Structure 1
Amino acid sequence: MSSRQDEVPKLTPTSERARRPVIYDVTRIVTRALNAAPNGIDRVDFALARHFLARNERVRGGLICTAIGPRLADPDLALETIEGVESLWREDGDAEEDDVYRSLVAALRSKEFAGASPTRARKAPDLLFLQRNWRAMSRWAPHLGRPLREAPHGAIYFNVTQFLVDRSWYMRWLTTRPDIKPVFFVHDLLPIEAPEFFRAREALLHPRRISNICRYGAGAIVGSHALAKRLRQYAAENGRPDLPVCVARLPVSPCFLTPAEPPAALEGVNYFVVCGTIEPRKNHLTLLNAWRELALGAAPPKLVIVGKRGWLNGAVIEILERSVVLRPHVIEAGGLSTPGLRRLLAGARALLMPSFAEGFGLPVAEALAAGTPVIASDIEAFREVGGDAIDYVDPLDGRGWLQAVRDYSTPHSPRRRAKLERNKAAISDSDAFIAKIDEFIAEL
């Protein structure tokens, strides 16, 4: 049976119940100004930051790491920075305004053999973009804020990204303010559970983060019941069997909930999408091996890799850079906007997610919300997100992935049609997500 924290809360209008002051940690969020596009953690961070920083003065506040340590930040300045970065990211724009999306469409339509270098659709360096984003971030450099002793009594300190949580000097102020209740969003335990997929330093730092969350936390929020179970076990092993844990399913961007026609320019184009940073946990290698065989057949499909190049990915990058066989059929796309991804998914045969492990799997939820079929690894996180709406393949089953892509490539594929008819996964929106967190905080 689910705990009370896992139940869907009965929503009460905000004006009808007193809300506790929340000090929202904006340290990481202001550093994102130099990134060309948001990732999944960014989207969660920005959604919650907008919610908590836009409230009235009595119940809102910010915290940022300064040259002299963590200090209270100006919430109006933080909110202005967030809105500025989001406007530069084109989160509410049109896909046709996105240079990366337009480059992708051109590459997918091309019937010519690719040139000497692999096809990569990337956001071109934009001096104005960099200047504006740099100004958005650099304005925080001289910001020293106010001392933490001025924080409202009994406030919630909310850290959504675990940024700097591994540093004892950053967390120490909480020992001087025992009235403050720290709440942390835990996105995954993967660097602890599967350190081989991460840089050695990350595998060292993440246990420190989670241990500090267990030590200081008045509560933790996670995106799935599977992660909640593992976090509770880890907390119990680290002396916090009583750590309250709230499950709040990550929301998809509203644009994925809006019906969209497949791009007319891509009508009849047979292509698949895989979404995620190019790193070993995402298992791009299995797809590239499948595409190597597909490329030897007639009219092979194209594969669009949406995501930047990450870490420990030497073998994948070597294939992408040097494989003449794959070059006409595989396209990298870095810096694609959210509207661009939405339009791309509308015409795709399927989203492919062959990951070995995930904390949640936001691209899966986005694709299902958009009505795009999903072929994904048979792992616990994906089963919780998609239930029987997903076509599951073992991440190690290369032949199974090859066959699935072949089946979905066939016009009017029975296998694909069957999943389209069952694409009824429960998708969370921002309102339900934030309401669940508000309720959890109010009860601490």
Structure 2
Amino acid sequence: MSSRQDEVPTLTQPSEATRRPVIYDVTRIVTRALNAAPNGIDRVDFALARHFLARDNSARGALICTAIGPRLADPDLALETIEGVETLWREDGDAEADDVYRRVVEALGSKGFSGASPTRARKTPNLLYLERNWRAMRRWAPHLGRPLRQAPADAIYFNVTQFLVDRSWYMRWLATRPDVKPVFFVHDLLPIEAPEFFRAREALLHPRRVSNICRYGAGAVVGSQALARRLRQYATEKGRPELPICVARLPVSPSFLSPAEPPEAFGGVNYFVVCGTIEPRKNHLTLLNAWRALARDPAPPKLVIVGKRGWLNDAVVEMLERSVVLRPHVIEAGGLSTPGLRRLLAGARALLMPSFAEGFGLPVAEALAAGTPVVASDIEAFREVGGDAIDYIDPLDGLGWLQAVRDYATPNSPRRRAALERNTGTVAGAEEFFAKIDEFIVRL
């Protein structure tokens, strides 16, 4: 891979980046109002939307898919929608205000059998915020905006989520505006590389998305060198070996950079956290099988599963719903806020990430930034994010995961202490992330 194409030199006048108009695609953002909590793509999307939409009017713009196709949208309305959704998600609030977090704390502090039903802490909808966000979404429904021919000359069109990028009718306008430079954030190629972990439809659509990115894109942004190499190979196969690629490591939320203490209610409870949607690629089954064995120990630790239920997860859901052995020791936390996750990580023995494959691994970066030890799969993405700070285990090594949990749960664990000493706390900052992207797009 050519370093010239993947490295972004420092500009002599960085302020040039702020003067090039950027048309930010907000189509996916306005669909997130009724989701309980953000995922990794949401975090990147919202951060970049704020970055680009907060500029002065001459350098900002928005695009949304309407009933008559993609149109220029009102950037102020887009910012208002973002603020409403983030309020619903409690991204800047206090963990104690999060009902999911409070129920997890209660479950962790409980002793003995948890009852006939599994311990599943889910978000209780806040009707006031839901109504507010629903009104905001209804405002978008008749929003026909302005024709794309009115887009500023030599603008950047930025699509961070690949939403609708698989549709040729959605991309067609770019052929009529060759002066507009499309830039796409590519989060991963996993539905192409490992389709067995995804719904059949997703494995069909993702190749179309990435092919359109290679066809129309003036540039692409990725979060890791590993993904840059794989995207370069894919682009070469599609006839675009020269596609400019910017590597900008994903930043963590400021929440994970600030000190936090676990609740006193935990009373020294041993627990671990796994973070991610419950779907086959995340490999929750290996951890649940380990916990079945741990349940026979005199004082087994607890496992908090942070993430909603996704797809192709029947075996995991069956264990969660029906296993009497697991019920006292495993807690589901769907819709947990970022402040809530930060507080949980503060008291966790470790973050466990047994994934088979990842595009980046944002929870790993968040845990390391928070000073929490990480035990993770020995895969390329995690190696790039965590380096020597992570305790690596093969995702298929069930006995290895079982032993790691037992070792980390031991009081004054030497293995855990060694992991803490290896963690230097080095993380990518938001300013560096935005600066790399700004410098990249101004050169296109």
TM tier, shorter chain? Answer: over 0.9
Deviation of the 1:14 alpha carbon: 5.4
User: Is the 8 Å Cα contact of residues 376 and 393 (structure 1) preserved in structure 2?
Assistant: yes
Runs of 4+ off more than 6 Å: none
Q: Which residue of 2 aligns with 1:214?
A: 214
Query: What is the distance in 1 between the residues matched to 2:312 and 2:216?
Result: 33
Q: Which residue of 1 aligns with 2:73?
A: 73
User: Is the 8 Å Cα contact of residues 72 and 151 (structure 2) preserved in structure 1?
Assistant: yes
1:337 aligns with 2:337: yes
1:174 aligns with 2:174: yes
Deviation of the 1:425 alpha carbon: 5.2
Query: What is the distance in 2 between the residues matched to 1:250 and 1:91?
Result: 17
Query: What is the distance in 1 between the residues matched to 2:154 and 2:86?
Result: 32
Deviation of the 1:130 alpha carbon: 2.1
Query: What is the distance in 2 between the residues matched to 1:11 and 1:386?
Result: 29
Change (3 A) 1:270 1:393: same
Query: What is the distance in 2 between the residues matched to 1:149 and 1:426?
Result: 45
Query: What is the distance in 2 between the residues matched to 1:190 and 1:115?
Result: 39
Q: Which residue of 1 aligns with 2:249?
A: 249
Percent identical across equivalent pairs?
85
User: Is the 8 Å Cα contact of residues 18 and 438 (structure 2) preserved in structure 1?
Assistant: no
Deviation of the 1:127 alpha carbon: 2.5
User: Is the 8 Å Cα contact of residues 118 and 327 (structure 1) preserved in structure 2?
Assistant: yes
Query: What is the distance in 1 between the residues matched to 2:49 and 2:290?
Result: 41
1:58 aligns with 2:58: yes
Query: What is the distance in 1 between the residues matched to 2:202 and 2:85?
Result: 27
Q: Which residue of 1 aligns with 2:350?
A: 350
Deviation string, structure 1 residues 338-373 (Cα, Å, up to 9, x no partner): 000000000000000000000000000000000000
Q: Which residue of 1 aligns with 2:44?
A: 44
Change (3 A) 1:386 1:329: same
Query: What is the distance in 1 between the residues matched to 2:436 and 2:14?
Result: 13
Query: What is the distance in 1 between the residues matched to 2:206 and 2:230?
Result: 15
Q: What amino acid is aligned across from residue 344 of structure 1 in structure 2?
A: L
Partner SS state of residue 344, structure 1: helix
Deviation string, structure 1 residues 154-176 (Cα, Å, up to 9, x no partner): 10000000000000000000011
Query: What is the distance in 2 between the residues matched to 1:209 and 1:261?
Result: 43
Q: Which residue of 2 aligns with 1:26?
A: 26
1:192 aligns with 2:207: no
Query: What is the distance in 2 between the residues matched to 1:273 and 1:106?
Result: 16
Which has the higher mean CA deviation after the structures are superposed, 383-392 or 136-145?
136-145
Q: Which residue of 1 aligns with 2:286?
A: 286
Query: What is the distance in 2 between the residues matched to 1:223 and 1:274?
Result: 21
Question: Alpha carbon RMSD of aligned pairs, Å?
Answer: 1.3
Deviation of the 1:382 alpha carbon: 0.1
Query: What is the distance in 1 between the residues matched to 2:376 and 2:365?
Result: 12
Partner SS state of residue 139, structure 1: helix
Change (3 A) 1:108 1:3: same
Change (3 A) 1:18 1:264: closer
Partner SS state of residue 33, structure 1: coil
Deviation string, structure 1 residues 262-293 (Cα, Å, up to 9, x no partner): 32222311000000000000000000000000
Query: What is the distance in 1 between the residues matched to 2:90 and 2:148?
Result: 35
Deviation of the 1:2 alpha carbon: 6.8
Query: What is the distance in 2 between the residues matched to 1:318 and 1:354?
Result: 19
1:431 aligns with 2:424: no
Q: Which residue of 2 aligns with 1:163?
A: 163
Query: Structure 1: which 5+ runs fail to align?
Result: none
Query: What is the distance in 2 between the residues matched to 1:396 and 1:8?
Result: 38
Deviation string, structure 1 residues 229-266 (Cα, Å, up to 9, x no partner): 00000000001011001100001000101122232222
Query: What is the distance in 2 between the residues matched to 1:220 and 1:263?
Result: 42
Q: What amino acid is aligned across from residue 265 of structure 1 in structure 2?
A: A
Deviation of the 1:333 alpha carbon: 0.3
Q: What amino acid is aligned across from residue 78 of structure 1 in structure 2?
A: A
Paired residues, number: 444
Query: Structure 2: which 5+ runs fail to align?
Result: none
Partner SS state of residue 182, structure 2: strand
1:258 aligns with 2:254: no
Q: Which residue of 2 aligns with 1:371?
A: 371
Query: TM-score, with normalisation over the residues of structure 1?
Result: 0.98
Query: What is the distance in 1 between the residues matched to 2:13 and 2:369?
Result: 27
Query: What is the distance in 2 between the residues matched to 1:36 and 1:283?
Result: 23
Deviation of the 1:19 alpha carbon: 2.2
